Structure 1
Amino acid sequence: MVRVRAVAGAVLAGALAVGAIAGPSYSAPAVGSAPPASASVTQDQDLADQIGGLPGVSSVTEATAPAGYRFFRITFTQPVDHRRPELGTFEQRLTLLHKDVSRPMVMYTSGYYVSQSPSRSEPTRIVDGNQLSMEYRFFDPSRPSDPDWPRELTIWQAASDQHRVIQSFKRLYRAHWLTTGGSKGGMTATYHRRFFPGDVDGTVPYVAPNDVVNDKDAYNDFLAKVGDPACRAALTAVQRRILGPDRAWFLERTRQDAAANGITWDILGSADRAMEVAVVDTYFTFWQYSPESECANVPGPDATDEQVWDWTQGVVPLTGYMDQDLLSYLPYYYQAAYQLGWYEPYERPLRGVLRYPGSFAAPNFVPEDLRPIRFDKRAMRDVDHWVRTRATHMLYVYGGNDPWGAERFDCGKARVVRRQCSVHVVAGGTHGSTIAQLPAAERDEVTAQILGWAGLSATDPAVKQVRRAGKPEFDPALDRPAVSSRWRS
């Protein structure tokens, strides 16, 4: 049995606690309200000292930043349980890309780890603002020492983390605030607004899955029709080749790679099962990240086994579901099995070559010490209902070929224009779809809405720049794509 350990070696709690769990219908705690003007820090202090004086900030370290910015790595003290603060605290990692306190603030979360290098999300570029980025709770090292998983790793607890950070930093950054994130980060941004709708002026979630009913999926129907039929057939042929006639070769190659890199398979039980899970995931992940032009690079029947192996390394490595990787992303897999939901594996075209059907499921990626996990059916239904009926100032972006968009958020029909809630789809787009890829008229309309939420007037330099160029200025030093994982939401 695998030991449940953080990457840094801290032992996690093994047994699930019995008792009430944080569900979506619970009310928010008294975490704090917007600070009065008298609570602001003095402007004659250095910025680092000002940040260090904010409530909850426990450390501030300045690092190298591109010209025109300052960049800080920050730790922030959070309650382990926002309902029971007496249980202790943990340190959560943040980063701050500072431009000017008078500029809008964009709060970004990937829903996973926080990058320790400066970068800008697309909304940050659009408003020419500051960016505060937050690591999701339970991702090492932002993890309590003895966590109670079902009580403390909930969407409400994470939203409360974000709320506390926002309320603290509003003492210094008093202009308009936006939130954003991609994929799980887009989900995180949505959940925060559901529980704390008044914290910010607008939210831009990208490619955010919305698995409302966990056992009723649209993913497989989407995958059966996405893209070109010849490309779908070629992908399936590669999968069947790996799991069928050439399985022994690929399994041996996987074991060799594992031996050379210290890889283990205790969670899934064997290299064979883990390899099969990776192959099942290959089809979904290809469409998640690859434009249709990549169909030309799918190995054909004349490719050697080594060439097929090399191709899988760029889509889903056949060693991808090793213990070391599963443990690194354990908080995500636990939440997927607990509240977020998980999609049905696309196994229809693989009948006859599967030895472990149904293995591609979040509960199987969690160490035995944390099972069984009782799924909370209320959480996603509650958030979905809120977005459809009450969400305001929400702007969703999806890719037309991205399987995660098969179950997307929907603003509903009631007073959508008045609520300023909208969904935008990039035709043929992937999991990396952006506002800049929308048709020009739609892109301009969306950009204008974000600028309005940020409180920017027509005379603001950011507004002028966007109008002049049609899209915000791209800086290669700051605007690299931020993908938390090649084959995860």
Structure 2
Amino acid sequence: MTKRLFNFSAAFLLLFLVGCKSTQDIQKVVKEASTFEKLASIKNVIKIEKRSPVSHFNENYEIWFEQPVDYSDASKGTFQQKVYVGFENNTLPVFVELQGYGIYTERAGELATHYNSNQLTIEHRYFNDSRPENIEWNTLTIENAAKDQANIINAVRDAIYPNAKFITTGISKGCQTTMAHRRYFPENVDACVCYVGPLNYEREDPRVYEFLKNVGTKEERTKIADFQKLCFENRAELLQILKDTAKKTGMTWEFGVEKALDYTILEYSFAFWQWGAKTENIPLQATNPETIYNHLISIVGYGFFETESVEDLQPYFWAALTQQGIYGYETAPFKKYLGTDEVYKFDWAFPEGISKEYDLKPMQEIKSFLDTDAQKMMFIYGEYDAWSATAVELKDDAQSRDMYKFVKSKGDHRTRIKSFSKEEREKIYAIIDSWLK
């Protein structure tokens, strides 16, 4: 739907309202307006398209909001932010999927599916389709993002869901987004369900290193470390395979192919636990470099370090390196191969020509909020997920504020409510049910 067609629809509705003779007539017209017309009438909606229904939704819309680049400086202009509305019924709850990245699907998530309900999906500023041509990097803050989300939630609620319950939810960085939105706008929604999201206290949070030294069994950790050593022992052969692959595919790395291999080997342990790999599949007896290489890449992939992927992920790296935190790689166990025991960091992932000191304050403020004031929030984690190293820790009085945390035994980063036992699922949904009454 073009902007021109949208303007015609909104103008037609306005003329219709002007022609009404009484307040009752106007109320009747507004009540009978279609969902499309109500959404199109939102002040800062600049484009709207009715799409084919997906999941259980009766109607499905792609909407574009015009948002301030910086809420403290209007002179910096605006950007366009993508949103999906999966509409089922305006009396049912609305589950707001706060993306930490771009929108990867318009289909119903776990909660909207369970409740056969409505869903509002908000793409994070500066990711995917909501990325302006030239990013003003210093405006990519968790507070600006939270204001984006509050604007959209308020507008959509007023337009089509004035009496519905709203629950925000997010996965991984989306969980971080959900926590931040709740901290800045604690009354904006009724409750929150956060999945597998870290709450880092430093840029390279050392709790990650301690986690990797203790997760799983000693035998499992030894196998993982032995495989990393096997990779370094076969480094020359693996490097040649990586170079050959890069030549065929056009892959490049900002810090060079040799560093790319080292970072990939160091990332292996974190990725292994994050995605729930199996130690029995580690090829420790392999003498064929191809077998070693293929297993390494099957766990780590290319997408965290390769130039094009880093460009796509640059908003993630900016947020991690300036406010939300990340981790580094301890090299001491591999000093024999690397010639150093200094922690490998992600400074190279800053946008070209710009960097910024890490600000401890935002995550500390979220922690303080969760410890003292937050209400009606639930956290879902997998025990073995590497990001559980910096999981939210709830205080002893948390349950008195309707704060809950559920950890799936041996679960990984794909842990969801459906991952738990029937008994635990019933307990989780009983809490959410109480929030929806």
Please give the TM-score of this superposition, normalised by the length of structure 1.
0.79
**Which stretch of the first structure deviates more once superposed, 138-147 or 96-105?**
138-147
Contact persistence 1:312–1:318 (CA under 8 A): no
Give the CA RMSD over aligned residues: 2.2
Residue aligning to 2:370? 387
CA distance in 2, matches of 1:67, 1:120: 6
Q: Does 1:297 align with 2:286?
A: no
**Alpha carbons of structure 1 residues 83 and 320: separation in structure 2 relative to 1, 3 Å:** closer
Following superposition, the deviation at residue 64 of structure 1 comes to: 2.6
Following superposition, the deviation at residue 452 of structure 1 comes to: 1.9
Contact persistence 1:56–1:78 (CA under 8 A): yes
CA distance in 1, matches of 2:72, 2:361: 19
Letter paired with 2:47: S
**Alpha carbons of structure 1 residues 254 and 39: separation in structure 2 relative to 1, 3 Å:** farther
CA distance in 2, matches of 1:435, 1:392: 20
CA distance in 2, matches of 1:345, 1:251: 20
CA distance in 1, matches of 2:337, 2:96: 46
**Alpha carbons of structure 1 residues 184 and 215: separation in structure 2 relative to 1, 3 Å:** closer
Following superposition, the deviation at residue 79 of structure 1 comes to: 0.5
**Alpha carbons of structure 1 residues 80 and 357: separation in structure 2 relative to 1, 3 Å:** farther
Residue aligning to 1:466? none
Q: Does 1:93 align with 2:73?
A: no
Contact persistence 1:223–1:346 (CA under 8 A): no
Structure 1 segment 121-136 matched on structure 2, within 5 A: 121-136=109-124
Letter paired with 2:144: Q
Q: Secondary structure at the match of 2:353?
A: helix
Structure 1 segment 13-52 matched on structure 2, within 5 A: 42-52=30-40
Contact persistence 2:101–2:128 (CA under 8 A): no
CA distance in 1, matches of 2:358, 2:401: 32
Residue aligning to 2:427? 445
Residue aligning to 1:345? 329
> What does the per-residue CA deviation read over 1:62-120, in whole Å, with 9 as the maximum and x for residues that have no partner?
333336422222211110111223431110111122222221101112300112x4322
> What does the per-residue CA deviation read over 1:236-269, in whole Å, with 9 as the maximum and x for residues that have no partner?
222122222x111111111111122222222xx2
1:202 to 191, 196, 201: 191
> What does the per-residue CA deviation read over 1:377-425, in whole Å, with 9 as the maximum and x for residues that have no partner?
21111111111111100000111001111111123234x2231011111
Q: Does 1:76 align with 2:68?
A: no
Structure 1 segment 469-484 matched on structure 2, within 5 A: none
**Alpha carbons of structure 1 residues 94 and 355: separation in structure 2 relative to 1, 3 Å:** farther
**Alpha carbons of structure 1 residues 67 and 95: separation in structure 2 relative to 1, 3 Å:** closer
Q: Secondary structure at the match of 1:170?
A: helix
2:308 to 320, 324, 335: 324
CA distance in 2, matches of 1:63, 1:198: 31
CA distance in 2, matches of 1:366, 1:132: 31
> What does the per-residue CA deviation read over 1:22-70, in whole Å, with 9 as the maximum and x for residues that have no partner?
xxxxxxxxxxxxxxxx999824333223222223221112333336422
CA distance in 1, matches of 2:108, 2:156: 18
CA distance in 1, matches of 2:306, 2:318: 16
Following superposition, the deviation at residue 355 of structure 1 comes to: 5.4
Residue aligning to 1:120? 108
Following superposition, the deviation at residue 200 of structure 1 comes to: 0.4
**Which stretch of the first structure deviates more once superposed, 134-143 or 341-350?**
341-350
Following superposition, the deviation at residue 303 of structure 1 comes to: 5.2
Q: Secondary structure at the match of 1:370?
A: coil
Residue aligning to 2:11? none
Following superposition, the deviation at residue 148 of structure 1 comes to: 2.9
Structure 1 segment 453-468 matched on structure 2, within 5 A: 453-455=435-437
Following superposition, the deviation at residue 131 of structure 1 comes to: 1.1
**Alpha carbons of structure 1 residues 133 and 387: separation in structure 2 relative to 1, 3 Å:** same
Residue aligning to 1:480? none
Residue aligning to 1:103? 92
**Alpha carbons of structure 1 residues 355 and 143: separation in structure 2 relative to 1, 3 Å:** farther
**Alpha carbons of structure 1 residues 424 and 303: separation in structure 2 relative to 1, 3 Å:** farther
1:220 to 209, 218, 235: 209
Contact persistence 1:89–1:144 (CA under 8 A): no
**Alpha carbons of structure 1 residues 64 and 361: separation in structure 2 relative to 1, 3 Å:** farther
Residue aligning to 2:3? none
Bigger Rg, which one = 2
CA distance in 2, matches of 1:92, 1:424: 33
2:265 to 269, 276, 279: 279
Contact persistence 1:65–1:118 (CA under 8 A): no
Residue aligning to 2:52? 64
Following superposition, the deviation at residue 142 of structure 1 comes to: 1.3
Contact persistence 1:92–1:142 (CA under 8 A): yes
Q: Does 1:235 align with 2:218?
A: no
Q: Which has the larger share of helix? A: 2
Q: Secondary structure at the match of 1:315?
A: helix
CA distance in 2, matches of 1:118, 1:140: 14
Q: Does 1:406 align with 2:389?
A: yes
Following superposition, the deviation at residue 318 of structure 1 comes to: 5.1
Please give the TM-score of this superposition, normalised by the length of structure 2.
0.88
Letter paired with 1:313: I
Matched pairs, number: 409
Following superposition, the deviation at residue 190 of structure 1 comes to: 0.4
CA distance in 2, matches of 1:105, 1:180: 11
* Structure 2 gap ranges (5+): 1-25
Q: Secondary structure at the match of 1:83?
A: coil
Contact persistence 2:332–2:341 (CA under 8 A): no
Following superposition, the deviation at residue 189 of structure 1 comes to: 0.2
**Alpha carbons of structure 1 residues 41 and 422: separation in structure 2 relative to 1, 3 Å:** farther
CA distance in 1, matches of 2:67, 2:340: 41
**Alpha carbons of structure 1 residues 74 and 180: separation in structure 2 relative to 1, 3 Å:** same
Contact persistence 2:332–2:340 (CA under 8 A): no
Letter paired with 1:213: E
**Alpha carbons of structure 1 residues 320 and 409: separation in structure 2 relative to 1, 3 Å:** closer
Residue aligning to 2:14? none
CA distance in 1, matches of 2:373, 2:293: 48
* Structure 1 gap ranges (5+): 1-37, 456-489
